[in-house]
């Protein structure tokens, strides 16, 4: 499988640089007869696109999706669904000075080291613009999960530059999240976060933070016991996103401060369909790599945006010391636009595992 | 690729349950002409095996590796190298009461939910014993990295139940790590950690902590810009290990407290072969998914061992409330034995990406 | 890997139906710094497109390729190269009567059986139009092979409806092949074949035949000893093309009539770079799945085109007997247009194995 | 996926050389709760083992299978099933003269060219002994197909050195096939074939031939429309076997002599469960890569055994002309022992596609 693909049974293959024809994705493995419209895909893309508010980059891109194949009369055919979004508001001239000078903590230098060639007219393949492919394909995964499995995925900005929030993850909705420009359902926290982001922009600086995501309604048994654990695939998905530096599920790093007797989730009789539940959920909904029917939740750390307007020390391609002043448009904080991307990757992981389980559970029960 | 396999070009396929014939691994994609001995593999297995010290489980397993194929006169043939370790000191009777009662925060329930069948005579496929396969194959990857690329990988226990340590990650050696039973190169921290572990055992309880790992000598350009980022593959590798709940690379979660100007790693002229270096290393040696020539370092969080001797509330297979008293032998803290496993997974990821880069860098330089 | 992808290291992922937005392909794994132009890709597409001569379907499609990503200033970037060709001369109305009536020996019925939905406005995903993706990506593989490895691939129509030909496969060139509309370098055979095709069209019927392909300059050692044998991957590639029913390499089915002493290729001292050669080449250039430095050649059988203008007995979706008169435009013989497709698949297989060998041959020679 | 693996969802990973510890296979993706015994696996291995009759090599190997993992109380667990067979009757001394002299039409030279190292004590990884892994894992696939899908697979020797046979492929059984040592259900043909094989041995020579295989009970819709066509995966499977040179499905090469009106399979109303059938089956049970509910049948060509006792011209490793007299034990005709191998590969392909279809057919019918 190519390195621009993700997933096993529900698989995406992506392409595109920030400056060039466009970006896109092929979804291979979406089951036939799924009703899906370009409007549903566009709705998720609109939550990702630049220029949504004063908190994001002023780069204007409509990011209109075009469906080239795989659908017929509103339903998936079972053949690959291909989606493209053309680049429009590209301004390569803004990057002229980056042709031979490396931006600190960007991928310019490592791209040259790896490939010996680089499209310097922007971030190239390493641009966050590439995540359009994730969001567009994730919208299809989301629809499949909702329709076939009753699974829903919601993410939100839970922390910005140390400012935390309080959110009820059993009940939070996308509408709650989109109540403000920060995409944090805790209104007072959101106000403080917004101020921190404006402050960073004013200082020609940037800030990072944490996105929390929850998946509700996941049936027990999804995921694999060894490498393709649900948390392992989620970790890979999240760490493959631009600017991410950490992932934790359930109790995470904080769990290392508890003893086993404090940390273990006691099993209790369940309710309704699910005859077994847990009294607590420090496991974060997965045990031994497989879902246990409780909400799956995890947190992803984003570093502060690497692009800042301040003059920075760096080197040129020859290794000579120089300075750089960034001119491209950029977000002082990527968190608000990261929310739909995190959700998309989560949907892709869950749709894949849900489909994989279809080929596990095929023989009659024992005895 | 099956869910019990890992890697793209240097690929392992693993098998085995804790109770049954044994566990093992096939390494497919090891280049021919690599000198490797069963002693080198055994040395890493011995660092993982139970019964090493008073800090670990008293389960006695020699864990002697047998090489079934792939070597000839001390060199790899290019064909699959298969390694098996037989199970010996299995005591299924100790697990009799777990036949129909689920251990809290273990994989018993999720295994039943997924497969509708379970080898209840131990942890089955979810036992940490399965990581023998990781360590045995990782030893081969380690040899390839050392010999062909000059890369070295060292991990250590950096935190136990909140007790931290100070370690110079540019210089720490395996000998430093193995100076004590905790596997922490900071001697005074190790003493405190050891006390904490003994205390936990005394209380019929358990503790968790953090393992830090560093890879030195990684050339710039390994890793991929999109899904198969070096940090993404490392995150998946670490979160696929038993009892792990979090992963962070470079600045990690702490990096969210800095601004961009504080966080960015300024480029500076390098020394010797490497003409470009960085003044700091908050990136953790990867930028945009690809190595930048600086040491790669990351931290993995382990929850406290789920198996504790205290009586716990739980349910049986039918969902009825009951209690459980664990009888199996177990580690009050998995960290000391996790060190070689973390190293092995790191070696597997790096060997894979180093080989993948061989098929990237094939055409002459431009201009 | 999705079922619409092909290859391991040089991998393509394809999409598109005959009627809909278009067809296309992503090439993932093309090494960076390969010079390639859309004109080179278009040249191969033009050899595949309909309407080239009186022997092919009158359907007019320009089949102009658009490159959406992966190139910069004439060179590959190492990131995915995406190519699309839009559908233009689609006439769904011609297929109206096939909405619920199955064309004999087509994929209409099996598509319905598999997916429970079908784009009846043409052949959908099973249309030969999908092979545009193969040819476009194959052109890139061809360029890599020529430039980096000195490998060349030539195919030709060697048999039509039992009319054979005589061709010197050590010397035949693409120019020889394209001397006539049949794409057979044996001029007198071509005349007879052309007459047979015109005759078939006149009779509202169709004919099949055989395409032979040779790859010259393949170094010894490409291919794998077990499943990914060169001949196995070539066989899969060829049998994955529309209308193919057989594949044979070297002596093929005819080789079953020889004894071992007649069939074996004696090794002899080689010339120039290659110190070992063979006195005969009944192996077809591969031994034990790996190339031996001799020309690789194989033959692929194509059945007569399933679409014919005669009235045929068939059933409708409900299983009721009915008759069908095909109205779509179609080729009385697919062979002439199959030549560049066979070449493309061969180039894809060889480029993949050539790149895979880069990660095999990395350690110094023994002794 | 490594080159020693085969299959997508039902996947095998194989290992082992002819001389060394042994050969084996991991089956990853077998659904849980499948009843399977080592006796069932052994039964298929016994049909492959050497020394069955005067027609095969006198090499004596019990080829006893050991199951190391994946089963519990007679049922599959869903975890990898690992099977090993140890090498016993190895006589490396018989190969001493092949250490530096290449056997014509064997893989000795290509192995050296590829890997720069070779286990010269036999055929190494290219030995037909490696197919033990195919047969052992194929037995599990066969059980799954029989139990879950009602599919049965039967192969037989249909031609030896030009001597053909007449077999009713709708009714032929394994018992019919194993009525004689040649494994040809046509008794009079079998007698002639047997004579031909004995004659070849007497002449220190060898013969080849054709194995035909039929799969009955395959439901419509298995297979994929593009690369992973059923016939493409079967072709790859067959051409990956030692000594195979050709594959044809349905009408095959002979189909090129028919016109479309002669070749097309008219659809007709079906009977019982299957409401649609075909009047003829020149398609060989697949149309557009997907099964159509008719018997799937195909033929595989085997060249005459490369190992013959006559003195042959060849070269040594340095490329100097020399001669070789084979001393190893070998089959004058591989066909009789190839029958279970062909069946195994067919079962593996079908089990994989049957499982893959489980994740395709998940949404409710339209309308």
CB D97 within 8 A of CB D324: yes
The per-residue b/e assignment along D236-270, b for 16 or more CB within 10 angstroms, e otherwise, is bbbbbbbbbbbbbbbbbbebbbbbbbebbbbbbeb
**Taking the domain B5-250+285-360, which CATH number applies?**
3.60.150.10
Nearest CA in chain C to A69: C16
How close, in Å, is residue A132 to chain B by CA atoms? 12
Residues of chain D with C-beta less than 8 angstroms from the C-beta of C124: 225
Nearest CA in chain B to C144: B363
Residue with tokens 């009955």: D216
Residue A321, SS3 per DSSP? strand
ipTM for this prediction: 0.97
Interchain contact, D24 vs B117, CB within 8 Å: no
Partner residue facing D255 (CB), from C208, C264, C308:
C208
Q: Which helix (H) or strand (E) holds C148?
A: none
The pLDDT of C92-104, averaged and rounded, is: 83
Q: What is the pTM of this model?
A: 0.98
d(C-alpha D82, C-alpha D67), whole Å: 6
CB A313 within 8 A of CB A321: yes
- The closest alpha carbon to D355, from D234, D157, D254, D222, belongs to D222
Interchain contact, C366 vs D116, CB within 8 Å: yes
Interchain contact, C109 vs D246, CB within 8 Å: no
In terms of C-beta density within 10 A (0-12 exposed, 13-18 middle, 19 or more buried), how is residue A24 classed?
buried
Q: How confident is the model at residue C90 (pLDDT cuts 50, 70, 90)?
A: low
- What local confidence, expressed as pLDDT, does residue A62 receive? 85
Q: pLDDT tens-digit profile of A190-200?
A: 999 999 999 99
How close, in Å, is residue D85 to chain B by CA atoms? 10
Residue to mutate among C7, C14, C27, C68, with most A CBs inside 10 A, is: C68
d(C-alpha C293, C-alpha C298), whole Å: 15
Within 8 A by CB and 6+ apart from B80, the residues are: B26, B27, B28, B69, B70, D2, D4, D13, D14, D15, D16
Nearest CA in chain A to D365: A33
Rounded to the nearest 10°, the torsion over CA B329, B334, B340, B343 is 150
- What local confidence, expressed as pLDDT, does residue C52 receive? 86
- What local confidence, expressed as pLDDT, does residue B152 receive? 98
Nearest CA in chain B to A220: B113
Residue A364, SS3 per DSSP? coil
Per DSSP, the residues of A59-126 read ------EEEEESEETTEE-SSPEEEEEE--S--GGGGGGGSSBPPTTSSHHHHHHHHS----SSSGGG
d(C-alpha B153, C-alpha B347), whole Å: 7
Partner residue facing A359 (CB), from D75, D355, D365:
D355
Interchain contact, B361 vs C31, CB within 8 Å: yes
More confident position, C305 or C55: C305
In the predicted model, residues of chain B with pLDDT beneath 70 are: 59, 89-92, 327-329
Q: pLDDT tens-digit profile of D7-51?
A: 999 999 999 999 889 999 999 999 999 999 999 999 999 999 888
C203 half-sphere exposure, CB direction, 13 A CA radius: 14
C244-249 and D244-249: which strand pairing?
Answer: antiparallel
- What local confidence, expressed as pLDDT, does residue C7 receive? 97
d(C-alpha B283, C-alpha B225), whole Å: 15
Residues of chain A with C-beta less than 8 angstroms from the C-beta of C21: 66-69, 82
Interchain contact, D31 vs A362, CB within 8 Å: yes
Per the DSSP assignment, residues forming a β-bridge with A29 are none
Within 8 A by CB and 6+ apart from C296, the residues are: C214, C215, C218, C230, C234, C249, C284, C285, C286
- What local confidence, expressed as pLDDT, does residue D106 receive? 96
Residues of chain C with C-beta less than 8 angstroms from the C-beta of A68: 15-16, 20-22, 24, 84
CA distances from B8 to A267, B222, B307 (A): 38, 14, 34
In the predicted model, residues of chain A with pLDDT beneath 50 are: none
CB D92 within 8 A of CB D121: yes
Q: pLDDT tens-digit profile of B63-94?
A: 999 999 999 999 999 999 999 999 986 666 77
The pLDDT of C184-194, averaged and rounded, is: 98
d(C-alpha C121, C-alpha C92), whole Å: 5
Nearest CA in chain A to D366: A33
Residue to mutate among B64, B80, B95, B118, with most D CBs inside 10 A, is: B80
Interchain contact, C266 vs D313, CB within 8 Å: yes
Residues of chain C with C-beta less than 8 angstroms from the C-beta of D361: 116
Interchain contact, B15 vs D119, CB within 8 Å: no
- What local confidence, expressed as pLDDT, does residue A312 receive? 96
Across the B:C interface, residue pairs with CB atoms under 8 Å apart total 53
Residue-range domain boundaries for chain D: 5-250+285-360, 251-284
- What local confidence, expressed as pLDDT, does residue A302 receive? 98
- What local confidence, expressed as pLDDT, does residue D260 receive? 97
Chain C residues near any Cβ of chain A (below 8 Å): 1-5, 11, 13-17, 20-24, 26, 28-29, 32-33, 66-72, 75-82, 84, 114-119, 124-125
Q: pLDDT tens-digit profile of C139-152?
A: 999 999 999 999 99
C326 half-sphere exposure, CB direction, 13 A CA radius: 26
3-state secondary structure B74-98: CEECCCCEEEEEECCCCCHHHHHHH
Measured N-to-C along each axis, helices D335-358 and D131-144 cross at an angle, to the nearest 10 degrees, of 50
In the predicted model, residues of chain D with pLDDT beneath 50 are: none
Structure tokens at B90: 């299995």
Q: pLDDT tens-digit profile of A277-311?
A: 999 999 999 999 999 999 999 999 999 999 999 99
CB D249 within 8 A of CB D234: yes
How close, in Å, is residue B163 to chain A by CA atoms? 9
Residue to mutate among A80, A143, A358, with most D CBs inside 10 A, is: A358
């Amino acid at each position: 499988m190519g390195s621009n693909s993700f997933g096993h049974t529900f698989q995406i293959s992506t392409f595109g640089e920030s400056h060039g024809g466009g970006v896109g994705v092929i979804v291979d493995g979406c089951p036939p007869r799924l009703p899906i419209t370009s409007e549903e895909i566009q709705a998720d893309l609109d939550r990702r696109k630049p220029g949504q508010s004063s908190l994001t980059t002023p780069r204007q891109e409509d990011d209109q999706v075009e469906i080239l194949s795989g659908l017929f009369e509103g339903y998936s055919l079972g053949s690959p669904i291909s989606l493209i979004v053309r680049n429009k508001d590209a301004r390569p001239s803004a990057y002229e000075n980056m042709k031979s000078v490396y931006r600190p903590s960007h991928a310019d230098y490592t791209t040259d080291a790896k490939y010996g060639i680089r499209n310097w007219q922007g971030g190239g393949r390493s641009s966050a613009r590439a995540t359009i492919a994730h969001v567009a394909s994730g919208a299809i995964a989301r629809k499949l999960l909702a329709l076939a499995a009753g699974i829903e995925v919601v993410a939100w900005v839970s922390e910005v530059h140390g400012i935390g929030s309080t959110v009820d993850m059993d009940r939070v909705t996308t509408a709650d999240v989109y109540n403000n420009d920060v995409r944090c359902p805790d209104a007072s926290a959101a106000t403080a976060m917004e101020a921190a982001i404006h402050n960073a922009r004013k200082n020609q600086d940037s800030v990072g933070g944490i996105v929390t995501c929850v998946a509700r309604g996941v049936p027990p048994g999804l995921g694999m016991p060894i490498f393709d654990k649900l948390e392992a695939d989620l970790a890979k998905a999240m760490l493959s996103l631009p600017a991410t530096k950490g992932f934790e599920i359930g109790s995470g790093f904080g769990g290392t401060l508890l003893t086993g007797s404090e940390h273990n989730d006691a099993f209790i009789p369940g309710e309704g369909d699910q005859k077994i539940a847990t009294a607590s959920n420090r496991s974060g909904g997965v045990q031994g790599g497989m879902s246990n029917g409780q909400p799956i939740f995890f947190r992803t750390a984003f570093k502060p945006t690497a692009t800042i307007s301040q003059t920075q020390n760096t080197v040129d391609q020859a290794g000579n010391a120089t300075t750089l002043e960034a001119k491209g448009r950029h977000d002082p904080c990527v968190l608000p636009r990261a929310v739909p991307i995190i959700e998309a990757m989560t949907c892709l992981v869950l749709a894949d595992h849900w489909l994989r389980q279809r080929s596990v559970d095929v023989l009659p029960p024992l005895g």
